[in-house]
């Protein structure tokens, strides 16, 4: 059984939602980051970065949210959270899956800190560019790959929910509202919210 190390009100929400989407049993290990549990020597053996989430699956230990999403989507193919190898949509799926930590998270940080970084130096371009690109990608919908929901929607939707609805760091747009409403309507999202709320 997969074991998720998580903490409420953290990036671990993405992986809670992901695991709930699989429909498979998993064990949750509460890691109280407010109390510094993620810096304990035992936890640093699991994730040397001292962050949640982290996942153990037998002999496999993995950290980083997008990596966990990719791993679980392949580990539980019956959940249909990723296009299979050879599917032409696979490239876009991977692009959007890694867009979440590579572009959305830094854009949120830039919006929050009001830090001015030249777009030529910032790997994500700019906050405006990231959210303009997302708006255009969601124009066709209903999901980031069109008709099929995937782990990329979990990664992107979690980041957008965090930035727009929970902490209001980024203004919403009509496409974002519709997309986030669809995400929030998913039973697995609702179960993850209930778990995260304690």
pLDDT for 190 equals 98
Strand spans (E) along the chain:
2-6, 26-30, 54-57, 60-63
Report helix, strand and coil shares of the chain as percent, to nearest 5: 55, 10, 35
pTM equals 0.94
pLDDT for 112 equals 84
CATH of region 2-80 = 3.40.30.10
pLDDT for 141 equals 85
Strand partners, 55: 4, 62
pLDDT for 29 equals 97
Grouped pLDDT means (10 residues each) for the chain, 198 residues: 94 96 97 90 95 97 98 98 96 97 92 83 86 94 96 97 91 95 98 92
Domain ranges in the chain are 2-80, 90-190
pLDDT for 25 equals 97
Q: How far apart are CA 44 and CA 55, in angstroms?
A: 13
Q: What is the pLDDT of the chain when averaged over all its residues?
A: 94
Question: Counting Cβ atoms within 10 Å, is residue 85 exposed (0-12), middle (13-18) or buried (19+)?
Answer: exposed
Structure tokens at 10: 């953290």
- Do the Cβ atoms of 165 and 157 come closer than 8 Å? no
For domain 90-190, give its CATH number from 1.20.1730.10, 1.20.1050.10, 3.40.50.620, 3.40.50.720.
1.20.1050.10
């Amino acid at each position: 059984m997969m074991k998720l190390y998580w903490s409420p009100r953290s990036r671990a929400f993405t992986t809670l939602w992901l695991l709930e989407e699989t429909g498979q049993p998993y064990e949750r290990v509460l890691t109280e980051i407010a109390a510094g549990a993620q810096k304990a020597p035992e936890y640093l053996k699991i994730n040397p970065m001292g962050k949640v989430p982290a996942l153990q699956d037998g002999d496999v230990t993995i950290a980083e949210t997008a990596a966990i999403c990719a791993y679980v989507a392949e580990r539980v193919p019956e959940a249909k959270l990723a296009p299979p190898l050879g599917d032409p949509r696979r490239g876009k799926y991977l692009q959007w899956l890694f867009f979440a930590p590579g572009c959305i998270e830094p854009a949120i940080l830039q919006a929050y800190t009001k830090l001015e970084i030249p777009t030529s130096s910032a790997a994500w371009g700019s906050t405006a560019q990231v959210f303009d690109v997302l708006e255009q990608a969601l124009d066709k919908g209903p999901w980031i790959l069109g008709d099929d929901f995937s782990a990329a929607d979990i990664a992107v939707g979690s980041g957008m929910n965090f930035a727009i609805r929970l902490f209001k760091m980024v203004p919403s747009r009509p496409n974002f509202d519709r997309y986030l409403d669809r995400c929030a309507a998913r039973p697995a999202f609702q179960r993850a919210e209930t778990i995260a709320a304690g």
